[in-house]
Structure 1
Amino acid sequence: MQVTQTSSQGLKQEFKVVLPAADLAAKLGAQLAEVQAKAQIKGFRPGKAPIGHLKKLYGKSIMGDVLQEAVNEANRKIVEDNGLRIAVEPKLEFPGGQEEVERALEAEGDFAFTVTFETLPKFEIGSFDDISLERPVAEVSDEDINAALKNLADRVQEFDAREEGAKAESGDKLTIDFTGKLDGVAFEGGTGGDVDLVLGSNAFIPGFEEQLVGAGVGEARIVKVTFPEDYSAAHLAGKDAEFDVTVKAVSAPKALEIGEDLAKKYGFENFDAMKEAVKGNLEADFHKISRDKLKRALLDALDNRYSFELPETLVEQEFNNIWGQHEAESQRAGQPIAEEGKTEEETRAEFRKIAERRVRLGLVLAEIGQGAGVKVEDKDLTEALVERARMFPGQEKQVWDFYRNNEQALAQLRAPIYEERVVDHISQLIKITDKTVTKDELFKEDEEA
């Protein structure tokens, strides 16, 4: 085997490999000898079929395996001899074309190919002594707990039919039929029958529910509304519409004490136990938001800290994933691909920056994690898999089997766990100061998130 490096440009290393015909013929001969010892060919005694005959029968097939193994061996040797850290699968090219490949399959000519390796960049991690971040934290208040209890009460709210002739009030539940129209023509998705609607719940388009206050059973009303400019269905966004609504039933909410009765409905021993559970859930939610914001700040700091050449293939793969999701979401919503106020080219450039950031941070976190010996334990992966399976009720076994039998899918499940472990590791090495904020400040979305 003859190996010659033909190019070295940035992260791309190209080599020319020549596998002499004599070496290939020797490998083919050895393989055919093994086949001869086991072959039972009609017309020949076991193990006595001529090598020439076996070559005619199996030569090309065996030689294909020989060439594949020779290519794999050459690639492994190049990687080991040159200390390469590979970013993606190497790219092979055969300058001699199909004719040369066919001659090699017959062991009648040398087999030459070029292989291009895209390598991982080299960069120094350094220390994190100079990173100082604020972690926003908020206390769960009695008001937060009471609001959560009210929400839980609303979920199990029961209603009794109002007396005959009664008019609907805010808070009542109406059962309605409706047909939505644009310029007098019914539009797709705008029709419903026997739909329950609690007045004041803001479940429908702004302005819809208010126009049904005072309606009685059997009454028909025309409700006029304007769809929001940012409505998910682009063909309705900002449009004026009319709904023909018929009220079929009016029910009033039954009184439900936010206390022991509510606790029993949710299976708690008493109301104090329910309040503690609600408080614990809220604290967990607050903690998650605090952690997410700290992680975002940490990733921003790391992104600003490191600058190095990125493997083009990894960036392209990440960009294609992001852009594909964006195209699918735009199509579902009936919206243009270009973001508001931007051309498609500008939108693509913005998404490419996101792809570059993800690749850069992925490489940085991988390097840090490898240096620190961060690992994902089997129990962590099992817990994540169980959680994923629970998201598909009735299909848990199929989901479980899919991940267990699909290494790539399992790797996708492992990746975010590994990232969290590395973030935890870095968080122990930097200076973190807790900053008390209000609940609204904690839950406020970052403009660039």
Structure 2
Amino acid sequence: MQVTETLNQGLKRGYRFTLPAADLAAEVDRQLAEAQPQIEMKGFRKGKVPMALLKKTYGPRVMGDAMQKSIDDAISSHMTENAVRPAMQPKIEMENGEGWKEGDDVVVNVTYETLPQIPEADLSTIELERLTVAPSDEQVNEALENLARSAQSFEDRPAGEAAQSSDQVTIDFKGMVDGEAFEGGTAEGYPLVLGSGSFIPGFEDQLIGAKAGDAVNVNVTFPDDYGAPHLKGKDAVFETTVHAVKSPSAAAIDDELAKRFGAESLDALKAQITERLGAEYAGASRALVKRALLDRLDALVSFDLPESLVEAEAAQIAHQLYHEDHPDDHGHDHGAIEPTEEHRKLAERRVRLGLLLADVGQRNEIGISEQEMTQAVMRQARNFPGQERAFFEFIQQNEAAQQQLRAPIFEDKVVDHIIAGAKVTERAVTKDELEKALSALDEA
């Protein structure tokens, strides 16, 4: 196999591989000779079919296999011998494919981009600030009050009292559009908390002031983004009968409430809430530190980026943002979505940081243990109740799915490694200040 370089520009590489016809014919002969002992053909004993007949019968098919194997072996050897790290799958084109005939050399053009050499930087010079928030008694008490409200009970109002916001009404209703009942618009004995926002906008408001025994026609308009397409924007009337009106009664904040939420006592529940709030604040703080670190890294080093990776990432960003802006479009028949310059800049940042973090991880021999991978699979499996086994099997058989789980774990481990070696100062702030910093992060 003759190899000639045709392109060497930046990260782009091109080579012409020429497979001599004699070498291809020799490979065909070798494969046929290897298969000959097992071949049976009418009129011949097993293994005794003449080579000339084998070539006539199986030659074209074996020629194709031999050609593919020779090309694959040549490209693989080239990659190994030259320590090539292609950014994406190489593009392979047969130069004389249309006019090729047996006896001709096979000429194949291979083009690809290499991964860049990442300059090593002194990561210990990075300076970061970590915001810390200690859960206050006020925040713990607020969480307790929310739990008490979620555990509230409802008691019948005295006869004749009107329903108020936050009351629970027990109702029968029948929805009508253009005078016709529609599927899913009827229920009996339904408990509805007024002000909960669980029904169509305007429905609950029209039941405030109703009393047990009242019949109320509730007039509403289905939102334009309603889930059922045939009801979007339609005017509807719900013939509603109120059977009971009940006022809320919050649960007492005591040991009994704690036991309802799995704690042995109120003090134990407070400790759990304090720990949970601390974990939430620490998670939010880490998100801020990580974003600050990525900003520092993005400005710390500079190197050429493979255009193929940037283009693929920009296309992915454009596609994702399109579906975020068009939540009703669940298909992929929307045609090509052209990435904008903003998409491309974001793609360049992601590719640069991805390559840099991968390099840092490799230099410091950061890996993902089997236990960490198993835990990640188990966390994801919880999103598919009743189908956990099928999910496990899917992950085991799908390398791409494994990589999707592995990538964020690896990134977080590398980020934690860099943070551990950076200069990090801590600053105590309030919960409101932390939330303000997070809001600014989301808007950036």
Shorter-normalised TM range: 0.7 to 0.9
| 38-47 or 286-295, which deviates more | 38-47
SS in structure 2 of the partner of residue 99 of structure 1: coil
Residue 270 (str. 1) matches residue 262 (str. 2): no
| Match of residue 430 from structure 1 | 422
Q: Quick one: structure 1 residues 123 and 441, their matched pair in 2 at CA, closer, same or farther if it must change by over 3 Å?
A: same
Q: 1:259-314 deviations in whole A, cap 9, x for unaligned?
A: 11112222322222222222212211111111111111111111122332221221
CA contact (8 A) 1:173 1:196 kept: yes
Report sequence identity in percent. Answer: 48
- Choose from 134, 159, 163 the match for 2:154: 159
Q: 1:11-54 deviations in whole A, cap 9, x for unaligned?
A: 11011110000001111111111111222323212221111211
CA contact (8 A) 1:167 1:216 kept: yes
The offset of 1:132, in angstroms, is 0.7
The offset of 1:415, in angstroms, is 0.5
**TM-score calculated relative to the size of structure 2:** 0.85
SS in structure 1 of the partner of residue 98 of structure 2: helix
Q: Quick one: structure 1 residues 430 and 242, their matched pair in 2 at CA, closer, same or farther if it must change by over 3 Å?
A: farther
- Taking the aligned partners of 2:162 and 2:234, their CA distance within structure 1 comes to 30
- Taking the aligned partners of 2:390 and 2:16, their CA distance within structure 1 comes to 46
Give ranges in structure 1 of 5+ residues lacking alignment. Answer: 101-105, 335-343
SS in structure 2 of the partner of residue 4 of structure 1: strand
- Taking the aligned partners of 2:188 and 2:303, their CA distance within structure 1 comes to 59
SS in structure 1 of the partner of residue 85 of structure 2: coil
- Choose from 369, 374, 382 the match for 1:377: 369
- Taking the aligned partners of 2:187 and 2:304, their CA distance within structure 1 comes to 56
Residue 58 (str. 1) matches residue 58 (str. 2): yes
| Match of residue 132 from structure 2 | 137
Q: 1:42-80 deviations in whole A, cap 9, x for unaligned?
A: 321222111121122322222222222211222123223
Q: 1:297-342 deviations in whole A, cap 9, x for unaligned?
A: 11111112233222122122222222222222322258xxxxxxxx
Counterpart code for 1:22: A
Counterpart code for 1:415: A
Q: 1:385-414 deviations in whole A, cap 9, x for unaligned?
A: 011101111111111111011111001110
SS in structure 1 of the partner of residue 296 of structure 2: helix
Residue 253 (str. 1) matches residue 243 (str. 2): no
Counterparts in 2 of 1:387-426, with a 5 A limit?
387-426=379-418
Counterparts in 2 of 1:171-320, with a 5 A limit?
171-176=166-171, 196-201=191-196, 212-219=207-214, 247-320=242-315
| Match of residue 357 from structure 2 | 365
| Match of residue 123 from structure 2 | 128
Q: In the comparison of the two structures, how many residue pairs are matched? A: 436
- Choose from 145, 159, 173 the match for 1:150: 145
The offset of 1:431, in angstroms, is 0.8
| 349-358 or 20-29, which deviates more | 349-358
| Match of residue 24 from structure 2 | 24
- Taking the aligned partners of 1:311 and 1:193, their CA distance within structure 2 comes to 62
| Match of residue 339 from structure 1 | none
Counterpart code for 2:364: A
Residue 352 (str. 1) matches residue 347 (str. 2): no
SS in structure 1 of the partner of residue 130 of structure 2: strand
- Taking the aligned partners of 1:64 and 1:321, their CA distance within structure 2 comes to 36
Give ranges in structure 2 of 5+ residues lacking alignment. Answer: 330-335
- Taking the aligned partners of 1:144 and 1:239, their CA distance within structure 2 comes to 44
- Taking the aligned partners of 1:232 and 1:139, their CA distance within structure 2 comes to 42
| 404-413 or 138-147, which deviates more | 138-147
Counterpart code for 2:353: L
| 281-290 or 143-152, which deviates more | 143-152
Counterparts in 2 of 1:40-119, with a 5 A limit?
40-100=40-100, 107-119=102-114
CA contact (8 A) 1:232 1:333 kept: no
| 273-282 or 366-375, which deviates more | 273-282
**TM-score calculated relative to the size of structure 1:** 0.85
The offset of 1:436, in angstroms, is 1.3
| 160-169 or 268-277, which deviates more | 160-169
- Taking the aligned partners of 1:191 and 1:329, their CA distance within structure 2 comes to 33
